[in-house]
Structure 1
Amino acid sequence: MTAGIALTTVACGSDKPGTVADDGSVTVKHAFGETKIPSAPKRVVSAGFTEQDDLLAVGVVPVAITDWFGGEPFAVWPWAQPKLGTAQPVVLNLYDGIEVDRIAALKPDLIVATNAGLDQDTYTKLSAIAPTVAQSGQSAFFEPWKDQANTIGQAVFKFDEMTKLIADVDAKFTDVGKNNPTFNGKKIVIVSATTYQDSYDVTPPGWRTEFLTQMGFATPDSVNAVVKDDRAQVPRAKLASVLDAADVVVWKTQSDEEQGTLVADPTFTALKTTKNNRNVFTGKDLAGALAFTSVLSYQMVADRLPQMIAKALT
């Protein structure tokens, strides 16, 4: 077995995640069945929006990364750039679906597509190029971050290392809660700073707000009431009825201009948290970190967001 692989060699057929079979392979289960990866990969393509973070977290530098948003160098955001080092991966996009031909030209030995909107047809095409790992469940985009991280950890023979990184993130947020007892029981909501079809995107309770729960916060019942199909789109006219139950609101602003437009909006100025000066504006990097919901981005969230919330609550 390759040195440095923190996995246990077991007989073929074991169902324990992350195990290495007698022939040195790992088998990863996903939405389209299972994929056998014969050995630790060396040329990995990150085919979806956020997989690069999980790969970089365990020391795997992709030969190609798919850009999502933000215009960051090589589609790698600040929280992950130290892990990229001097590497210059090819930048792919999903503007017109997965770029199958470009991926084939890179001659990868593993394609990670857990957040790529994969369907059966595209999975079959990618699998003809190299072993391909798809999303683990029904969510073709943005499955729970721990599910994605665990799948990728298995696929690159770094399952134990990934498990520890996930536990460290959980511990970091729990420690924040212990160090900020005033957070306990306070109601908090995270909201997009811009509208789509005159509605605001509110982060629904669930895996995306688990880190808030770990810090001691709660989600107002008013948010639960507007969740539909794992999303919470709130029309402008109803925003106050949802947000006024919150003690603090975190706005995902991605620029000074975006924040300026928001604070000048009468809908914003009428909110209870605005009158009480209990709004938090993330700025680009933190907004990106909240969007990526990864083992690396959450470290930035834990380092920056709590102090901003604490200041708003004083």
Structure 2
Amino acid sequence: MVVISRGAFLKAAAATAAATILAGCSTGSNDESTSNSSVESGPYTVKHAFGETTFDSVPQKIAVVQFWQNPDALLSLGVVPVGAPIVSWGGNDNQSTPWFDKKLEELGGEQPTRYDETDGPNYEELAKLEPDAIFSPYGDMSQEIYDKLTEIAPVVPAPEGVGSWAASWQQTVEMAGKMLKKEDDAKKVIEDTEKQLKDKAAEYENLQGATFIAGAFDNKQNTFGAYTSSDARPRFFSLMGMELAPYIKEHEGGADSFFVNVSAEVIDQLEADAVWAWTETEEDIQKTKDNKLFAQMPALKNDAVVFESDKTFGLALSATSPLSLLWAVNETDVLDNMSKAVENTKKAA
């Protein structure tokens, strides 16, 4: 069994995805004259993982580094970023996401300028936008990257004590609220989102207290990679009232580890009422079902594995935000499928 850190895995994943794959910052539009005009101006400081950033007034043009969570957090507070990275994996024709576009339409805003971040922050394109601030609480942020970004504009990275790729969507929204001086609004967005998610989950009584595992089968290595409680996917299912399976709880590492590799020899110990498994293709699903080394997984025996290959949905659960989570529960059948999986386990008992 191997425990993999979040940073190591996501850097590799970003490289793999990259191989396959002028709007103002405003409230409801891209006209700077309307953006944050109702917020009292004056110097204020935002504390974060790299120290603190002081603003003389609320930034009007905000560029985003890392498309996971960060653009959505701004938009959930009614603020359209001046620039945001291209969504290359799981994105749509707008180089965006359906949940971002839906909220953008509600606000009457225009698409932000998009730039490629295949090789990391696009310093040149960011500088062209002449932003008042750069927002990036979630993603890969080192001291070197932070210092280079501050040469362009004041930066708001992860909260104090939070490392790369570790900020929850709630923390990202909170940081947006602090930067925009909309802390009460941020709190309300978080509370409203959590309430809507819990209300939706309550419609599925058999999910409450049911155990789950989220991960992916590797037919080449004959292993199963299970996400730990530090990862966004288990956090989502936990918010739906489910409980992470005991085996994963017992074998997960510290806060920085989010992925546990389980060999086929012990896969029979992965007891859970339902398993959510990411897969690249439909062909891979059949390979998994035909793999005799995986046959001892209880959920496979019970027809309680929910396979998912839609990249947009995969992104929604990975890059969690108020916008993506509500889209996932309202526009997809993930809860229906997990509910059926739990029922199949009960029938097999």
TM-score of Structure 1 vs Structure 2, range by shorter chain: 0.7 to 0.9
Matched-pair contact (CA < 8 Å) for 1:52–1:65: yes
Where does 1:132-281 land on structure 2 (aligned, <5 Å)? Answer: 132-136=155-159, 137-194=161-218, 199-206=223-230, 208=232, 209-229=234-254, 230-238=257-265, 240-243=267-270, 245-281=271-307
Count of matched residue pairs: 299
1:120 lines up with 2:143 in the alignment: yes
User: For 1:229-255, what per-residue CA distance to the aligned partner results, in whole angstroms no more than 9, with x for missing partners?
Assistant: 422322342462342x10110112355
Q: Which SS does the other structure have where 1:61 is aligned?
A: coil
Shift of 1:125: 2.1
Aligned mates of 2:65, 2:100 — CA distance in 1: 17
Aligned mates of 1:67, 1:198 — CA distance in 2: 34
Tell me the amino acid that sits aligned with residue 172 of structure 2.
Answer: Q
Name 1:290's counterpart in structure 2.
317
Q: 1:167 to 1:104 in 2, by over 3 A?
A: same
Matched-pair contact (CA < 8 Å) for 1:116–1:141: yes
Tell me the amino acid that sits aligned with residue 190 of structure 1.
Answer: A
Aligned mates of 2:151, 2:300 — CA distance in 1: 54
1:307 lines up with 2:336 in the alignment: yes
Q: Which SS does the other structure have where 1:179 is aligned?
A: coil
Aligned mates of 1:263, 1:4 — CA distance in 2: 53
TM-score normalised per structure 1: 0.83
Q: Which SS does the other structure have where 1:29 is aligned?
A: strand
Gaps of 5+ in 1: 10-19
Tell me the amino acid that sits aligned with residue 273 of structure 1.
Answer: A
Name 1:16's counterpart in structure 2.
none
Q: 1:112 to 1:249 in 2, by over 3 A?
A: same
Structure 2 residue corresponding to 1:60, chosen from 72, 76, 79: 79
TM-score normalised per structure 2: 0.75
Shift of 1:265: 3.6
Matched-pair contact (CA < 8 Å) for 1:74–1:90: no
Shift of 1:308: 1.8
Aligned CA RMSD, in angstroms, stands at: 2.9
Structure 1 residue corresponding to 2:103, chosen from 74, 83, 95: 83
Matched-pair contact (CA < 8 Å) for 2:224–2:264: no
Matched-pair contact (CA < 8 Å) for 2:268–2:296: no
Tell me the amino acid that sits aligned with residue 140 of structure 2.
Answer: G
Aligned mates of 2:217, 2:323 — CA distance in 1: 23
User: For 1:212-270, what per-residue CA distance to the aligned partner results, in whole angstroms no more than 9, with x for missing partners?
Assistant: 33433111211123212422322342462342x10110112355455444444444444
Q: 1:84 to 1:173 in 2, by over 3 A?
A: closer
Matched-pair contact (CA < 8 Å) for 2:219–2:288: no
Q: 1:171 to 1:155 in 2, by over 3 A?
A: same
Name 1:130's counterpart in structure 2.
153
Q: Which SS does the other structure have where 2:275 is aligned?
A: strand
Shift of 1:276: 1.3
Name 1:49's counterpart in structure 2.
67
Aligned mates of 1:5, 1:199 — CA distance in 2: 50
Matched-pair contact (CA < 8 Å) for 1:25–1:36: yes
Tell me the amino acid that sits aligned with residue 104 of structure 2.
Answer: L
Name 2:47's counterpart in structure 1.
29
Matched-pair contact (CA < 8 Å) for 1:6–1:160: no
Name 1:97's counterpart in structure 2.
120
Q: 1:123 to 1:178 in 2, by over 3 A?
A: same
Matched-pair contact (CA < 8 Å) for 1:191–1:203: yes
Shift of 1:49: 3.1
Matched-pair contact (CA < 8 Å) for 2:177–2:186: yes
Tell me the amino acid that sits aligned with residue 103 of structure 2.
Answer: K
Aligned mates of 1:193, 1:90 — CA distance in 2: 37
Shift of 1:301: 3.0
Q: Comparing 250-259 with 36-45, which one deviates more in the overlay? A: 250-259
Q: Which SS does the other structure have where 2:42 is aligned?
A: coil
Matched-pair contact (CA < 8 Å) for 2:228–2:260: no
